[in-house]
Structure 1
Amino acid sequence: MVIFVASVVMYLLIVWSGGAIPLNELVIAVALGVVITLACRSWSPGLYRLTALRPDRWIKLIAFIFGPFLWGMTKANLDVAYRVITGKINPGIVRVQTSLKNSYAMTMLANSITLTPGTLTVDVDENNGTYYIHWINITKVEPTGEDIYGSFEEWAKRVVES
């Protein structure tokens, strides 16, 4: 239902020009909402689990975003600025093993890594939880997850896998 409503509202916001919305645009919005909802359901049936609606998960996610993620983002921005100014970089791709099993937790971690300046998730092997990450300054040949993304993995477990 959420995907349907969000799709209809987004379409109507795109076509709205300040006045009344014509009936044909409403029909198109509803039709597209149905198509998008059915497509999302067939691509990801797990999306319709009610566990995503649990308030404790939303509270944990907000705590992650405004706590460790914001702190990691701030540190990474300062580090990247330093490396841009001084030219002291040692870029490369490293492999990191995680203990995440849930695909949503793996996606949350991959996105958190990619959003943090200086790192980019290049590939994820979902079968064994291996991430390939482009890192702006490789300090170890075999780094741990803690070296690259800090406590993000533990937070992904708390938010999604609990």
Structure 2
Amino acid sequence: MKIGELSRRTCVPTRMLRYYEEQDLLHPERAENGYRAYEASAVYRVQQIRGLLDSGLTTEIIRRILPFLTEPDEIHVHPECLTEETAALLRGEADRIQQRIECLARNRDAILAYLAAVRPDTSPPDGVGGPGARVRGRPYRGCTRWDRQSAYGRRTRDGR
């Protein structure tokens, strides 16, 4: 399939697909006329890439782990394939994601506390905040600039 069809099937702009190729995440064949030719499996691969980007991973990390992802919930890695450098990078990324989760939870609690204060009739989801819930500290403490920007719909590192 050509790049336009892959774009339609995945709802990812052609420009972004070219970027994935530049980042060595996609590997299309080239037809005699120079057009990119994608296998049907590229649809799944693009969906994987989008999911990983949406979860906050960088293209560098995705490039390193993508060869080991076969199914949505399966990772096949032989221990000898995981270098210390990649393992350290993944540990750092897991720590960064945990910090982001904590930041998002604080922001959620702050929003729910605000709603409870201004609209007492609003009930939060079970186990989250509640009437009279108090928020300690600033909601953004521990958040990176990228988290703050993405919270307001601004562009993030990967241009999303």
> TM > 0.5 between the two?
no
TM-score (norm 1): 0.29
Larger relative helix fraction? 1
Larger relative strand fraction? 1
Higher relative contact order (CA 8 A, sep 6+): 1
